[in-house]
Structure 1
Amino acid sequence: MVTSAHEAMHRIFQEDPGIFARAFRPLGVPFPEPVAATVLTPDVTENRPLERRIDTLLLLETGAEGPDGKLLLAVESQGRRDPAKPSSWAYYSAYLRAKYGLDVVLLVVCQDRATAHWAEGPFFLGTTHWPLLTLRPLVLGPHNVPLLTDPEAIERDIPLATFSAITHRGGPCPDEILKMLFSAHMTLDEETSHLFVEITERGLGDSPAADIWRNLMALDLDFFTSDTSMRLREEGREEGREEGREEGREEGREEGRALEAAEVLLRLLDVRGLEVSAQARERIRSCEDLGVLHGWLERVIEVSSVEELLVESAGSARTEGVAEPDEAGRVGASGGGAGVPGPRLGGAVEVPR
């Protein structure tokens, strides 16, 4: 379990070691993408009372021939300047080289620019007249980690987007970035999503961005196991049972799915702070077309008002050759075709089919 921003900053490399190579690619440092990674014990204690422990230690295998085929990646999460750290980092590097006989890369990850610039060094160990060692850690921080703002890029690489978000937690536009990251999470399986949700929450620490993230997570992917969700599903099943025919059961299930999607949409609007009139609320709840509801769910993160959401939906329907929704929110295609196809976000919400 991730318990702090400090841990989130290095733990994410355990979950997706490839972030290391992908983060440095835009910086012109061409580390090969690892094809395998093993989490090693971070304990570098000797048989002495002094305990030394690296935050995260990974054995990366790149698949390349020769000495570049394997390397050790030591990840240190640094929250402030610490004059004692360079000596510890030099010790870690020398100890790991001696113990494993492999090249060592020391990566320091920071969440503020001042600490990141300090951590880049170089640090000289030895006397003024004769430096014995020069230590130059690789550093990732707000000064060089790209701030991902493209929804497609975020969805394509959620681990890297998560690292970008927690690295820039005190920077500009956290609101919009976190909303896009939240939307992208809906494309993940539940286990993976919960892991990176936890890393994001811990990585944001006590920053204002953490409150934004918690508000987004309040509706959460857990809605579909909530009492409301289960009640709506049961209503659909019950109606189907009462009909006593297959079409009756299907109609009940369809209505339950539509009610479920409508409740998710209304909760998203509430979290975004958009005012929902009684008329708009009734229109959403009375909509029985899952294609229309999925379209609204796709756009709810982007619009600035409920009116814009519903108007855009009508415009989109006409663009696709589909009639404008009536007062009940039903959509029919010209020529009797299917309604608006469910978009990505709607599909990711996974209203049961």
Structure 2
Amino acid sequence: MAISPEHQIYAELFADAPDMAVGFLRDLGVNVPDYERSEVTSCDLGHVDPVERRSDVAIMLRGPGPDDPHDHLMGIVVEVQRDQKERKRFTWPEYVASLRSRHECPVTLLTICPRQSVADWYAEPIHLGHPGFVLRPLVVGPDDIPVVTDPGAVAASPTLGVLSAAAHGAGRTDVLDALHSGLSVIDPEKAAKYIGYSLHLLADTNGQKALETLMMADTYEYSSTWADSLRAEGEADMLLRILAAKGIDIPDGARERISRCRDVGQLAAWADKSAAITHIDELFDE
């Protein structure tokens, strides 16, 4: 199944910052154990059969346990859903059971939905058939994402800043001000990536235009060239991640061609094309 750039961006945000998933779970009332570190683990949650079972992000919380100072304390399956798909009601219980069986620890399902109507739909309980065996997905929609207006909060958690911009930036310039100012003090390469993500998630909205204007404003000493370069870097990084997620081999020459491209229109065309290709050469075919 083709992975959209928007879908991949949300997954990458949680892969970049696994602790962010913990924060959302605690906000939803989940009793998350104290842990020493969180880490992204294998997303392959299937069995030995021809059917692929792969979650968007799988996270493991580790810390002191009865037999191991780095014991598996809790697993988190993060799923990103942009549309209503009945099939997910059958595959999600398998994801949870597979990760639980593999690591022999409790596992929680966290579903991220960029659209509130989709979030409300997925919040319905999943009845598995066995008496009392019900999976109730924990769902985060735009209404559950905090409105981040403090640049310091963005600098401390850039991924949360991007989520806030995507959920609220189309109508709130203070969120975009905080995103812009907060990202200006972190590593430039990471800032470029997160600006690219934000522009993509705000595509075709007033928020996208406002963020681009903010980046180019003289008061922030950003030029149009610099802004375009940042956006292109983010789009190129996103394209490479999509290709990797599809299992397409990317030779060094192709990787460099994509990474060095600063034509946002060309990168967007390649991204659209990536959904239907099986070999890297097809991406560059005219």
TM class, shorter-chain normalised?
0.5 to 0.7
Match in the other structure for 1:56: 57
Alpha-carbon distance in 2 for matches of 1:142, 1:45: 30
Structure 1, gaps ≥5 residues long: 220-261, 272-353
User: Corresponding residue for 2:80?
Assistant: 77
Do residues 5 (structure 1) and 3 (structure 2) align? no
Q: Which structure has the higher relative contact order (CA within 8 Å, separation 6+)?
A: 2
Residue number in structure 1 paired with 2:207: 209
Q: Look up the match of 2:194.
A: 196
1:110 matched to 2:113? yes
RMSD: 3.1
Q: CA deviation at 1:169?
A: 5.3
8 A contact 2:111–2:139 mirrored in 1: yes
- Paired letter, 1:200: S
SS of 2:163's equivalent in the other structure is helix
Cα separation, partners in 2 of 1:206 and 1:6, compared to 1, 3 Å? farther
Give how far 1:120 is off.
1.7
For residues 131 and 204 of structure 2, the distance between their equivalents in structure 1, rounded to whole angstroms, comes to 40
Work out whether residues 166 and 204 of structure 1, in 8 Å CA contact, stay in contact via their aligned partners in 2. yes
Change (3 A) 1:191 1:66: farther
**Cα distance, 1:73–1:131 mapped onto 2, change above 3 Å:** same
Q: Any conservation in 1 of the 2:72–2:105 contact (CA below 8 Å)?
A: no
Query: In structure 2, the residue corresponding to 1:18 is in which secondary structure?
Result: helix
Contact 1:116 1:143 in 2 (8 A): no
Normalised by the length of structure 1, the TM-score is 0.54
Q: Deviations over 1:123-180 (max 9, x none)?
A: 2122xxx64620112111112222122344334433222222223455x31x331122
Asked if structure 2 preserves the Cα contact closer than 8 Å seen for 1:9 and 1:203, the reply is: no
| Distance in 2 (alpha carbons) for counterparts of 1:30 and 1:52 | 27
Match of 1:187 in 2: 185
Q: Whole-Å Cα distance in 1 between the matches of residues 31 and 5 of structure 2?
A: 30
Aligned residue number for residue 248 of structure 1: none
Q: Which amino acid aligns with 1:164?
A: S
**CA separation in 2, counterparts of 1:191 and 1:79?**
28
Alignment of 1:313-332 (within 5 A): none
Contact 1:110 1:167 (8 Å CA) reproduced: no
Contact 1:40 1:58 in 2 (8 A): yes
CA offset digits 1:286-314 (Å, max 9, x no partner) = xxxxxxxxxxxxxxxxxxxxxxxxxxxxx
Q: Secondary structure at the match of 2:128?
A: strand
Q: TM-score, normalised by structure 2?
A: 0.65
Map 1:39-188 to 2 at 5 A.
Answer: 39-61=40-62, 63=63, 65=65, 70-126=73-129, 131=131, 133-168=133-168, 172-173=171-172, 175-188=173-186
Quick check: 2:84–2:121 contact (8 Å CA) kept in 1?
A: yes
CA distance in 1 between partners of 2:194 and 2:4 (Å): 13
Cα-to-partner distance string for 1:100-125 (whole Å, 9 max, x where unaligned): 22211111001111111122221212
1:145 partner letter: I
Shift of 1:15: 0.9
Give the 3-state SS of the residue equivalent to 1:80 in structure 2. coil
Whether the aligned pair in 2 keeps the contact of 1:74 and 1:106 (CA below 8 Å) is: yes
| SS in structure 2 of the partner of residue 139 of structure 1 | strand
> Which residue does the alignment assign to 2:235?
none
Contact 1:7–1:203, Cα closer than 8 Å, also in 2 = no
> Does the Cα contact within 8 Å between 1:169 and 1:204 map onto a contact in 2?
yes
Cα separation, 2, equivalents of 1:188 and 1:266: 16
Unaligned ranges ≥5, structure 2:
228-286
Cα deviations by residue, 1:212-267 (Å, 9 ceiling, x for unpaired): 33444557xxxxxxxxxxxxxxxxxxxxxxxxxxxxxxxxxxxxxxxxxx796485
How has the CA–CA distance of structure 1 residues 153 and 64 changed in structure 2, closer, same or farther, with 3 Å as cutoff? same
Given that 1:14 and 1:39 are in contact with CA atoms closer than 8 Å, whether structure 2 keeps it comes out as yes
For residues 165 and 35 of structure 2, the distance between their equivalents in structure 1, rounded to whole angstroms, comes to 23
Query: Per the alignment, do residues 168 and 32 of structure 1 end up closer, same or farther by CA in structure 2, a change over 3 Å counting?
Result: farther
Aligned-pair identity in percent equals 28
Letter of the 1:199 counterpart: Y
The number of residues matched between the two structures is 220
